[in-house]
Structures are given as C-alpha cells and as structure tokens.
Amino acid sequence: MKKAILFVLPLCCLLLQCAHNEEITDMVINHAAEEECLSVFPAIPFRAVHKIEANLPFGGYQTFIGVTEIHPDTGLIKVVLLSPEGITLMDAESIGPEIKINSGLPPLDKKDFAARITDDIRFLFMPPNGTIKGALTKQGNSIYCIWTKGDIRTEIQKGKDKTTLREIKGTSKIIRQAILMPPLIDGLFSKMTLHTKGLGGYTLSFELLQTEDTGN
C-alpha cells in the first residue's frame, strides 16, 4: 500500500506541473488586457514620498520616510530613506543591476541592501522584465497577465478593489507578492504592501504622502 501511495504522489505532482505549464503556454494575449495590466505602472517620470513601515526578519520593526524617483524611459531609480526625524539613512540609485551609494549610515550603506531595496521598488513601479505569455479578462472582470524570464514568472491580477503583483520561481515558489490598493493619487496607488518570502523575508507597507512630476 505504501508503494502505491509513493508512486501516486509524484504522478499527481507531475500532472499538476504539466497542467500548469500548459495553462501558460496556451493562454491567449489580449492586447487590451495587456495594456490594462501595464497601466498599473506609471508611464512618465515622477517623484513620490511614502511613509514606509517595515516588519523586518526576526521581529524587527522600523518606520521610514521613503523618497523615490522613477524614470521609466531610462530605467533610473533613485531611493532616499529618511528617519522620521529627517536623517538620511540611505541615498542610492540604480539602472538595471548597477548600484551607486551616494550616502548612508551603517548598516544601510551596503550595496546588497541598496540592491534589494531598489529591486523591490522596480518590482512595484516598473513593468516586468521578460516576455508576455498571456493576458486575458477572467470571470468577474479582473485582468490577468503573465510574463516570464528564464525560470521567473511575474503575474499581475488587476481587479476593481485591488491589484496583486506576484513573482514566482519555477512552478510554485513565490519570491515576493505585493497588494496595491486604490484610490489612485496622480496615477499612483495610495497604499501598497510588499511581502518577500523565505528566510530573511520581510514586509514593507507604503502609504503615499506626496507626488511630484519631475518635469523630465
């Protein structure tokens, strides 16, 4: 009996994986739905100020003021983290994998920390890297899109009350997930919550305080 169970379990897993891969392969690309998914991300350069509440690994909690500048046309991201008292904790910028630390206080002045933060900002505010694999309107009129790059899949599900972004490795390992909540203020979501998974995972809650067109 045990041998039969051990045989059936891998078979079920294999069937589920095949069904999942077939779903991605067979999805249609409705261009109107794709545009709706991409409308989640700002199309013009902007600067925004957020209150950020961070639940850090192993029970740590901190509040920051985050000043973010995004240039979708060039991929430039600038991030300044301030203490509630206005002290600059980190000032960094990136284009793609390139990270530049302008200033910072230990331990926030490390490139690996800045790279993690700017990558999270890229996930929240810039369209996914990779190739669009599917875009459609689901039951209930929510919009669902998938992009893939290598073994990384990015999913967007846009509904009336919230938008969910999800980054997945392989078939099921969620790397991070974000919930974006209306109303929109100057094209930006008023509240966002980002969860990263695994050992050292953390949660960042963003509350939009101010927006500004950079004029570029």
CATH assignment of the domain containing 107: 2.50.20
Is 88 a member of any domain? yes
pLDDT at 13: 37
CA 81/CA 13 separation, integer angstroms? 44
Q: What is the pLDDT of residue 162?
A: 96
pTM of the model: 0.85
Any domain includes 20: no
22 domain residue, yes or no: no
Render pLDDT for 16-37 as a digit per residue (tens, 0 to 9).
Answer: 333 344 455 567 999 999 999 9
The pLDDT, as a whole number, for residue 59 is 66
Q: Is residue 187 part of a domain?
A: yes
Asked if residue 4 is part of any domain, the answer here is no
Query: Is 17 a domain residue?
Result: no
Residue 196 lies in a domain: yes
Instruction: Report the distance separating Cα 92 and Cα 4, nearest Å.
Output: 56
- What is residue 17's predicted lDDT score, i.e. its pLDDT? 38
Residue with tokens 């900002």: 121
Check residue 11 and give its pLDDT. Answer: 32
Instruction: Give the pair of three-digit tokens for residue 189.
Output: 């979501």
Q: Which residues of the chain have pLDDT under 50?
A: 1-22
Give the residue numbers spanning the domain of 202: 28-213
Structure tokens at 149: 């790059």
* DSSP H helical ranges for the chain: 2-26, 31-38, 111-125
Residue at 18 is within a domain: no
For residues 155 and 145, the answer to whether their CB atoms sit within 8 Å is yes
Q: What pLDDT is stored for residue 37 in this prediction?
A: 96
